[in-house]
Amino acid sequence: MLVKIQKQRIRKGMFIESVACPSREFARRRFILASDKDLAAILATSATEVSINIALGLDENGAQSRAGSQAAPHAEPQRAQAVRGEIDQAAITLRANLREIVGAGTLDMAGLSRAADDNARTWSDSAVIALEVTRLKTKDETTYVHSLAVSGMMTLLARALELDDETTGLLGVAGMLHDIGKLLIPNEILTKPGALTDAEREIIRNHPEAGYQLLKTYPEIPQVALDICRLHHEVLDGSGYPLGLKQKDLSATVRLSTVCDVFEALTSVRPYKRPWTSTEALDWMFARPHLFDRKMVIRLGSVLVDAPIV
């Protein structure tokens, strides 16, 4: 279980999941704090908060937590299995909801919100495990599991940026809906292992607009979800698509969605590429401030605790 505390409260015996700073200041992640040197190094960073895992070390008050004292030697494999089950079930729920929307059926907004909240809890409790589980997808589940991963990361990043609960919840739903336009693309194009033709590439590049046009026929869908569906491939310098908008026209929530979507795409197994490591993806994005909001890239690295920015 992850708990955020002010860095001044850390002490030896705590299990440090992440320090909310670039790794050039402090690169270590996921370790028991055992030395005065590491303690001093964390205190010297620009971070204000540190994430600790009270199941693996002392709690926020410096005491052995009940979760930690009862943790079994094989707790991590057991938790990984549980997370896989949670994500598999969430993918089934999301598939049913999205297919209903694509089929011009009814929209269960309350059910979609509950699914997004459940998914957010999975990522909040086990971000590293969830990231590993969602990296490997079969062809028929890529869109659904990708959307779950983006939704989970968006809620983590929203909390790290101290957005309010209502906005965070809406972002969870928006993440689940953002790629619905891909369900309108023939599978032979969407999962093609070889190079795309110009015509096929144009079909794929149209998915944000196609998804937006579909979602806006449902008045229950909030504007933030419509914007993220349409604009999550826009980047700060105007070289994105479908509208070529620049930074001044891109809301903070859209910029947040772009960072999460690109990170997930880079680190996932796809038919046409090898997966990048988290560090490779974050470093690549951090080095391109003309495309991505650098503050959000740093914060994403701080909440995905196995993925420091070098």
pLDDT value of residue 15: 83
- 266-295 per-position pLDDT tens digit: 988 766 667 888 888 999 999 999 999 999
pLDDT value of residue 66: 55
Report whether pLDDT(119) > 80: yes
**Range from 61-65, 69-73, 83-87, 211-215 carrying the lowest mean pLDDT:** 69-73
pLDDT value of residue 287: 95
Compute the distance between CA of residue 69 and CA of residue 282 in angstroms, rounded to an integer: 35
Rounded to an integer, the average pLDDT of 75-83 is 71
pLDDT value of residue 72: 44
pLDDT value of residue 154: 97
pLDDT value of residue 34: 82
| 178, 152 contact by CB (below 8 A) | no
Q: List 237's β-bridge partners, or say none.
A: 246
Report whether pLDDT(198) > 60: yes
pLDDT value of residue 163: 94
- C-alpha distances in angstroms, 189 versus 196, 211, 275, 293? 8, 17, 20, 31
Q: Look over the chain and give the mean of its residue pLDDT values, rounded to a whole number.
A: 86
pLDDT value of residue 13: 85
Q: Which among 61, 49, 67, 39 has a CA at the least distance from the CA of 5?
A: 49
Compute the distance between CA of residue 291 and CA of residue 246 in angstroms, rounded to an integer: 9
pLDDT value of residue 81: 80
Instruction: Give the helix, strand, coil percentages of the chain, each rounded to 5.
Output: 55, 5, 35
Rounded to an integer, the average pLDDT of 105-110 is 88
Highest mean pLDDT among 43-57, 189-203, 246-260: 246-260
Report whether pLDDT(73) > 50: no
pLDDT-based confidence at residue 307 (cuts at 50, 70, 90) = very low
Apex CA 232: angle with CA 231 and CA 233, to 5°? 90
- Percentage, residues of the chain above pLDDT 70: 90
Give the pTM. 0.75
Report whether pLDDT(308) > 50: no
Report whether pLDDT(21) > 70: yes
17 Cβ contact partners less than 8 Å away, ≥ 6 residues apart:
2, 29, 30, 51, 52, 53, 305
Q: Which among 159, 132, 134, 137 has a CA at the least distance from the CA of 148?
A: 134
Strands 2-6, 31-32: pairing kind: unpaired
Domain segments of the chain: what residues? 2-69, 75-303
Report whether pLDDT(69) > 70: no
Query: Does 1.25.40.10 match the CATH number of domain 75-303?
Result: no
Top pLDDT among 185 and 32 is at 185
- 124-166 per-position pLDDT tens digit: 878 878 888 887 666 667 889 999 999 999 999 999 898 999 9
Rounded to an integer, the average pLDDT of 36-45 is 90
